[in-house]
Amino acid sequence: MKRRKGLSKKGLMNRRDFLKTMGVMGGAALTTGISGPFFHARAAVPEIRIGHATSLSGVYAVYGERIDKGIRLAFSLSKYKDRAKFFLEDTAAKPELAVQKAQKLYEKDKVHVLFGPIAGNESAAISAVLTPMKKLQLQAHGSNVYLNGKNCSRYTFILGHSPWSLSAPMAPWFMKNLGNKVFLVGADYRTGRDIAAFFKRGF
């Protein structure tokens, strides 16, 4: 009985002809764009776009750089490390600029979540703008204390300290160990004034 070309004694295609056939199929798939049973396009993994609006210049620059490194480190140690893409903007600790940068990150860069900023007046300004837009803001450092109270938003999450936690708990210890007379000195903006006010209230 005469065997057909390319078939072994058992009627099966030999290794050389199998590889030759696969090569032809692969070439056809590449040139025509037609996918066969052996050629499947891998589904694209969606990116996780992370925005960070923080102080990279000015009085809080050292904090902004460290927080940014911390965020990147956290993602590098997670199962999402190959999906994370970062977008960094400098707010220079200025509320008006912080709002502009936050809007740019969401509207132009299409981030999924925003970290920052640092100063309390910045965080309050950004939260007031992002809340009506239903956009997430994560405070990776401090925060405006009123975001814990009257200006609380379901879209703003505070992961760090607040002016109250930095000052009020110290008042009872101070009175017990050092007396009831103290001079308060603070930075002349909302957070500094709040720290002094909450400490004073403890008396």
Q: What does the alpha-carbon distance between residue 201 and residue 14 come to, in Å, rounded to a whole number?
A: 89
Model pLDDT, residue 126: 94
Nearest to 54 by CA among 99, 118, 111: 118
Sign of CA dihedral 193, 196, 202, 203: negative
* Token pair 């210049």 in the structure block, residue: 57
Every domain of the chain with CATH number 3.40.50.2300 lies at: 48-161
Model pLDDT, residue 134: 95
Model pLDDT, residue 49: 97
Q: Between 31 and 61, where is the model more confident?
A: 61
Asked whether residue 113 carries a pLDDT value surpassing 50, the answer given is yes
Mean pLDDT of 101-110: 97
Is it true that the peptide bond before 132 is cis, omega within 30 degrees of 0? no
Model pLDDT, residue 73: 96
**Which pair of tokens denotes residue 174?**
């101070």
Q: What does the alpha-carbon distance between residue 109 and residue 190 come to, in Å, rounded to a whole number?
A: 30
CA atoms within 13 A on the CB side of 151: 18
In CATH, 48-161 is 3.90.550.10: no
Model pLDDT, residue 43: 57
Q: Between 72 and 161, where is the model more confident?
A: 72
- Whether the CB-CB separation of 58 and 102 falls below 8 Å is answered with no
pLDDT digits (tens, 9 = 90+) for 137-173: 998 887 777 887 888 899 999 887 888 888 999 999 9
